[in-house]
Amino acid sequence: MLSLIKLPRVFTMNQVPKVFHEDGIITGYRHPRSSATDCILSLFQMTNETFPGRYFLWKLVTVVLMQKAWQDSFTWPMVIFLFTCCIYPLASSCAHTFSTMSVRARHICFFFDYGSISFYSLGSAIVYSAYIFPDKWANSSFHQSYITIAVFNTVICTILACYSRFPEYQSPKFSKFLRVVSFAYPYLFDNIPLFYRVFLCKGEGCTDNATNILHYYHITLAFLTAFLFATHLPERLAPGSFDFIGHSHQLFHVCAILGTHFQMQAMEQDMTIRRSWLVENSIPITFANSVGPALLCVVLNLVIIFLYSLPLLLGPVCKDKKYSRGPKKDKLCPHS
């Protein structure tokens, strides 16, 4: 049956607009005016955007249904974290799948991708605040302001990441720098209590338990993920050799998913091992420091994405026969 379906053609970098180019990738590009059908069909062929799919949804369902999460406020941060773990791979999958419908669609798709990553960052902060703060920092002034700062960082992350797409054509290095900073900054802030706990803290109150090895795995994979995102290795060393399999963005997604898996395991273990101590000594988990900030983040991110998308939706368009599949096809000016 599948043999009767004609899969879309793939192109070389010289056949698509520059805004679609990736460092070190020569071929495997999809048509810059792909239809929605073409985008979906491309899931069944090898392109340079083939990468692993979703995870964590089953875990979220397990926690909600089997542990009766909404009846126990102590599990709310875990539910929020697992929800963000489902959203960011899904948003990334959709962005990569439909980003070749047009230049305009590409930008808007990745706006949602960046918003989902910043939402995941806040989900991490919420679950860290609940379960991983070292004993000696629990209920400290930093702990009490931690979620508020994380919400602010999430907004800044989304604003910078979305803005980074606009100078991408004229200043690709500056655009890449902005994007790296927008993701690295909230990650580093969120992990201050974890870095202190596993690397710096000595003596009593350091929460040195069996979970720390899982935290080491997660931190290692997180930095490897950042390295792959920033360097475009290995394809920069051998352009054309990793167009379909083994390029940095595929490895980036694999490391990100594995890192999130170990992060989830560490959160579950800390939540279980430390529950009695945290209930007595840490900040009580309420709507205001768990579900509330998550909902606020969703609203603010959607507003930011809308504001960045508006000029693209209302902006001027120009005809481009080179990439058009029909006389009425057009593209955004001047990003060809």
- Tens of pLDDT along 147-190? 999 999 999 999 999 999 999 878 888 998 999 999 999 999 99
253 is in an annotated binding site: yes
96 is in an annotated binding site: yes
Tell me the residue type at 300: L
261 is in an annotated binding site: no
Question: Domain segments of the chain: what residues?
Answer: 51-313
Say which residues have a Cβ less than 8 Å from residue 303's Cβ, sequence separation at least 6.
Answer: none
Mean local confidence (pLDDT), 54-72:
62
Give the Å distances, CA to CA, from 326 to 5, 130, 316, 333: 22, 55, 19, 18
User: Which pLDDT value is given to residue 102?
Assistant: 85
Tell me the residue type at 293: P
Of 19-33, 92-106, 223-237, 271-285, which gets the smallest average pLDDT?
19-33
With cut-offs at 50, 70 and 90, classify the pLDDT of residue 18.
low
pTM of the model: 0.81
32 Cα distance to chain centroid: 23
User: Which pLDDT value is given to residue 94?
Assistant: 83
Mean local confidence (pLDDT), 195-212:
92
Write down how long the chain is.
Answer: 336
With cut-offs at 50, 70 and 90, classify the pLDDT of residue 51.
very low
User: Which pLDDT value is given to residue 305?
Assistant: 97
Of 15-19, 198-202, 224-228, 242-246, which gets the smallest average pLDDT?
15-19
Measured CA to CA, the distance from residue 136 to residue 205 in angstroms comes to 5
Q: 246: alpha, beta or left, given left = phi > 0 and alpha = psi -120 to 50? A: left
325 token code pair: 């599949």
User: Which pLDDT value is given to residue 49?
Assistant: 44
| CATH class for the region spanning 51-313 | mainly alpha
Tell me the residue type at 280: E
With cut-offs at 50, 70 and 90, classify the pLDDT of residue 332.
very low
Asked if the model's pLDDT at residue 283 lies above 80, the reply is: yes
Asked if the model's pLDDT at residue 60 lies above 90, the reply is: no
Identify which of 2-6, 140-144, 203-207, 233-237 has the greatest average pLDDT.
Answer: 140-144
Question: Of residues 192 and 261, which shows the higher confidence score?
Answer: 192
What is the maximal distance between C-alpha atoms in the chain? 72
* Percentage helix, strand, coil for the chain under 3-state DSSP, each rounded to 5: 65, 5, 30
236 token code pair: 């920069």
User: Which pLDDT value is given to residue 17?
Assistant: 65
Question: Of residues 45 and 334, which shows the higher confidence score?
Answer: 45
What average pLDDT is seen over the chain?
82
Mean local confidence (pLDDT), 134-159:
97
Mean local confidence (pLDDT), 97-110:
86
- Ranges of beta strands (E only) in the chain are 11-12, 27-29, 317-319, 330-332
Structure-token match 């960046």, residue found: 114
Query: Do 109 and 162 form a contact (C-beta atoms < 8 A)?
Result: no
Question: Of residues 18 and 282, which shows the higher confidence score?
Answer: 282
